[in-house]
Chains A and B, each alone.
Chain A
Amino acid sequence: MNDAPNTGPAIEFRNVGYRLNNGTTLLRDLNLEVRRGETLVLLGRSGSGKTTTLKLINRLLTQSAGTILVDGRSLEKWDVIRLRRMIGYVIQEVGLFPHFTVSRNIGVVPRIEGWSADRIQRRVTELLRLVGLEPQLASRYPRELSGGQRQRVGVARALAADPSFLLMDEPFGALDPITRAELQREFLALQQRLGKTVVFVTHDLREALLLGTRVALMESGQLVVTLTPDEFVHSTDAMVAAYVDAFRTELSRPKEEAR
């Protein structure tokens, strides 16, 4: 479609602002680059604007100021449906279609893209394996799955049409710690193989440091800083240090209680 994209950033925010109709500002003057093939983690508290930022990328929300470029092209120039189909989207609530089987859920985008039934079938089997699920699960309904299985199906569904981008909004947030750790490890392995451009939203510092190529810390609708995980833990920035401190306190608490 475009010759320029392979050199520039995959996604770029230029002075982006987002305001609600009632005048509340959720994002202000955001400048951010997502590099091709990296996992950029948006880290921040509830209400810091990280989910808003994510939804601006696939135009579930539209910015009130500034420009967002995907593949070097301004979002307004994209056909919104085409844009969304090349961006996989995974949310915490998963949002599987309860009246579709696992197989039909995964095949949603291929189906509306007009793939043949055969090809969809093969793709579904391939994806189930890729996310570590038994192919026999294909005929189950979402309510017959565990939380971890559901989220795996959610990831498989997002990957179905082989999008170059993946937006993930606290995808592992509702899972128990053990399943979460399992899915995080699998995500890392998967990402190593697939090399998608991923924007990952979380409020969990540990998850951010584990999964992120870079971590963008957000606070009150503004980007504080973007650092690699290594730089992040050693940063002297007050806000970053506060975040790391809070996390350390959380870790040390069980020991004190164990006395």
Chain B
Amino acid sequence: MNVLQFIIQNHIEVLDLTAEHLWLVGASITLAVFIGIPLGILITRWPVLSKPVLGGANIIQTVPSLALFGFLLPAPWIGARADRIAIFALILYALLPLIRNTYTGIRGVDPAVVEAGRGMGMTDSQLLWQVELPLAFSVIIAGVRVATVLSIGLATIAAAIGAGGLGEFIFRGLAMVNNQVILAGAIPAAALAILADTSLGWLEKRLSPR
């Protein structure tokens, strides 16, 4: 029996696990965007904060994911459900690319443009919304892309704490020493990653300022 046959025969479970996977990634990326991008903006306004915030996000990134899932098990509220743990951990991992790209994207806007805007009497929020964010947009979206692809991969590990997702097949296949079962999880996960990457890349091109 090859992988394709296995997937077709178990297509209901494959779809279920893919949906779970998408839920974990979708929820965590959405929340991470709402945390990471404002944080990135904040540290362009208070540069003193940039070192601790970026440093903190960097340190989180170095914690092995399996360990982080484990650490969160005893956490109040979050530890009560496996998908909460998974989403929380995935948010933490997604923060670094989001914060860093927002920060460098805004810092990378031509200083002459910012000075001209300020000199003309734009308020800080006008400058941010009309000038800095549109000009930093492609860099920020690139951060979302990296974070999404990263999360799709990491979410497979969430199955180890019972959060479901395509990692279920991978761990099951490892236990059964069955490559086909492993691939039944790995291939859809890889396909999701490629799909997310191309569609966000398309969005980046479409919405970038000229």
Contact = CB atoms under 8 A, between A and B. Distances in A.
A interacts with B: yes
Interface string A52-85: 0000001010000000000000000000011111
Interface residues of B, number: 20
**Dominant SS among interface residues on chain B:** helix
B210 A94 contact: no
Interface string B18-43: 00000000000000000000000000
A187 interface: no
Interface in B82-104: none
A82 B134 CA distance: 25
Contact of A96 (B113, B114, B118, B126): B113
B176 interface: no
A163 to B, nearest CB: 9
A95 B135 contact: no
B118 to A, nearest CB: 6
B115 A91 contact: yes
A89 B120 contact: yes
Contacts of B134: 99
A222 B119 CA distance: 24
B9 interface: no
Contacts of B210: 98-99, 141
Contact of B116 (A81, A82, A95, A99): A95
A96 B118 CA distance: 12
A109 B117 contact: no
Contacts of A89: 116, 119-120
A95 B112 contact: yes
Contact of A60 (B112, B113, B118, B130): B118
A97 B123 CA distance: 16
B131 interface: yes
Interface string A149-181: 000001001100000000100000000000000
B76 interface: no
Contact of A85 (B110, B112, B120): B120
Nearest to B119: A89
B209 interface: yes
Contacts of A99: 134-135, 209-210
Interface string A86-117: 01010101111111000000001100100000
Contacts of A60: 115, 118-119
A108 B120 contact: yes
Contact of A112 (B114, B119, B122): B122
B119 A58 contact: yes
A237 to B, nearest CB: 33
Contacts of A95: 110, 112-117
B116 A96 contact: yes
A97 B112 contact: no
A81 B113 contact: no
Nearest to A95: B116
Given A81-B121, A84-B121, A94 B209 contact: no
A85 B209 contact: no
A156 to B, nearest CB: 12
- A60, A96, A97: most-surrounded residue (chain B CB, <10 A): A97
- Most chain B CB within 10 A, of A82, A84, A87, A91, is at A84
Interface of B: 110, 112-123, 126, 130-131, 134-135, 209-210
9 closest A-B pairs by beta carbon, nearest first, are A95-B116, A99-B209, A84-B121, A93-B112, A89-B119, A85-B121, A95-B112, A95-B113, A81-B121
Interface of A: 58, 60, 81-85, 87, 89, 91, 93-99, 108-109, 112, 141, 154, 157-158, 167
Given A97-B135, A108-B117, 7 more contacts: A83-B121, A89-B119, A91-B112, A93-B110, A95-B114, A95-B116, A112-B122
13 contacts: A84-B121, A85-B120, A91-B115, A91-B116, A93-B110, A94-B116, A95-B110, A95-B112, A95-B115, A96-B113, A96-B116, A98-B209, A112-B126
